[in-house]
Amino acid sequence: MNNLPNFPIEEQSILKEQLEKVIKEISSIFDPEQIEQLAEETDFVRHESKLTGLLFLSVFVFGASMYGNPTLEQLIGLLDIHVKELTLSRPGLHQRINLQAVAFFDKVLSLAMERNIPDCLKIHLPAQFAGIQIWDSTSFQLPDGVAQFFTGHGGSASLAGAKIQFRYDLNRHQWGYAIQSATEADNSMADNIVALTQPGDLLLQDLGYFNVEIFESLRLKDAYYLSRCKHDVNIYKHNEDGSFSCEDLVTLIQRRQFTGYLELPVFLQSKHGVFTPTRLIIERLPEQTVNERLRKLNKEARSRGKQLSANVIFLSHFNFYVTNALSNLLPASCCRFLYGIRWQIELVFKAWKSHLQIHKIHVKHRHERVLVTILSKLIFITITAQMIRVTTAFLWHISQLEISYYRALRHFQTAAERWFSLVIRSDFESIFALLMEALTFVQKRSFKIPQHDRIYPLEMLQVFGDLVLIT
């Protein structure tokens, strides 16, 4: 990659060296010996076959990145172009898509997620938090024929649907996934969320994950959370006699006059009756924001044949947050700003759907093929995301510019067929050269153009750290 101005050559050289080391490790993820071992461990390969574990894996991973949702004929055609000695029929490929294939792909995905990112290529977070964990999910419909395995919402929607739970550790650069039925509640991930959040971490989550048990567990673990607060939640005050008295949000606000922010020490009650102390932060919104919110709410209500209640209209004038981080770590005025980082996940989901069509799976009957298809896409997503992330860190450290994940992922798709041909030949030197070429292009052509009316995630973190220091 070309030298960039205003950055010490010595430090830039170290960053380049570490970047190349990461890419070299990623280049070898399709190592035949490693892949065939995983294929044998999962009983996907039981005897010698021309359709090796590597060929089966790579044609699905790269076929999915090239075609979105390829037919079996397209995958066979791709193999025929690049592996002339392999004669494969549609039924022959079809029968290899089984539970063993699912286990095999799941092992490879776990392997892909294990990459360690050098400290110099990590994103530096505000010092008050050890890490920032973001959880979100995306759902999509599936053909009715797989409803036995992936339950959908029915009604005007399909009887079958899937949901991908997604975890992103912003500091350690770890991605995690869980594939569920569309009807599974987000807060069903409570145990996983608590287990994967380390002491000192900050958890950012939306209302779907609102769970007082999670808040209490994180508090006891010396970890932090920042969440939007449900409008129908009961707020408790601890009285001098040791009892707790309850108020709803409407009553609580109507008793107080304030502008800007109101912060209250309150308690939330879990379903097991445990009272958890928390900070409730209420932000009064400007009139323009309120009007825009009410327009959306009215439109949604009309589509369901309903009208907005007086309480909903009243509460629409405010944002509500709960956190256990003390005000010196997270001032009330910084909550919305920091919480805004979570919305970047929506851009990730947009890229998955626009470029990889992860929400358009047309498999009518076999749930194994649904899982193999989703896992194929997640393997490609994970490998490319790691490269995009270290390149983002490289560019940020040097020039304070960020890579657009959406645009970068699209470029890796253009290299997919060439990448596939090199993988099946195990030409790791050429794979490394191809990936470095792709990252050089991404660095030069896919960075986010600074705009005066927009602030990007890494700049958000930097500004947040400065705001906390000032506050």
For 196-251, the pLDDT digits (tens) are: 999 999 999 889 999 999 999 999 999 999 999 999 999 999 998 989 999 999 99
Which residue has tokens 């009983």? 43
Residues 445-462, mean pLDDT to the nearest whole number: 76
Element (H, E) at 94: helix 90-96
- Chain centre to alpha carbon of residue 215: 21
Q: What angle do CA 96, 100, 102 make, to 5 degrees?
A: 90
Pick from 9-13, 97-101, 383-387: least confident: 9-13
Q: Is residue 160 in some structural domain?
A: no
pLDDT surpasses 60 at 430: yes
Same domain, 19 and 92: yes
Structure confidence by residue, pLDDT tens digits, 301-331: 998 889 999 999 999 999 999 999 999 899 9
**What's the pTM?**
0.89
Q: Give percent of the chain above pLDDT 70.
A: 96
Same domain, 319 and 378: no
> Which residue would you say has higher pLDDT here, 444 or 463?
444
Same domain, 309 and 385: no
Same domain, 412 and 315: no
Same domain, 313 and 387: no
Structure confidence by residue, pLDDT tens digits, 262-296: 999 999 999 889 999 999 999 999 999 999 999 99
Domain-ending residue, one of 324, 358, 379:
324
Same domain, 43 and 104: yes
Q: Is residue 378 in some structural domain?
A: yes
Residues 54-76, mean pLDDT to the nearest whole number: 94
Sheet holding 201-205, edge to edge: 174-181, 160-169, 131-142, 201-205, 224-228, 318-323, 275-284, 261-269, 235-238, 244-247
pLDDT surpasses 90 at 395: no
Q: Answer yes or no: are the C-beta atoms of 94 and 459 closer than 8 Å.
A: no
Q: Is residue 140 in some structural domain?
A: no
Same domain, 87 and 15: yes
Same domain, 88 and 20: yes
Q: Answer yes or no: are the C-beta atoms of 222 and 245 closer than 8 Å.
A: no
Question: What is the predicted pLDDT for the residue at 2?
Answer: 44
Say whether 103 sits in a helix, a strand or coil: helix
Looking at the structure of the chain, the number of domains it has is 2
Structure confidence by residue, pLDDT tens digits, 454-470: 777 777 777 776 666 55
Same domain, 374 and 301: no
> Which residue would you say has higher pLDDT here, 166 or 1?
166
Q: Is residue 89 in some structural domain?
A: yes
Question: What is the predicted pLDDT for the residue at 1?
Answer: 44
Structure confidence by residue, pLDDT tens digits, 25-45: 999 999 999 999 999 999 999
Q: Is residue 195 in some structural domain?
A: no
Which structural domain, as residue segments, surrounds residue 434? 9-116+369-445
Separation of alpha carbons 24 and 11, rounded Å: 20
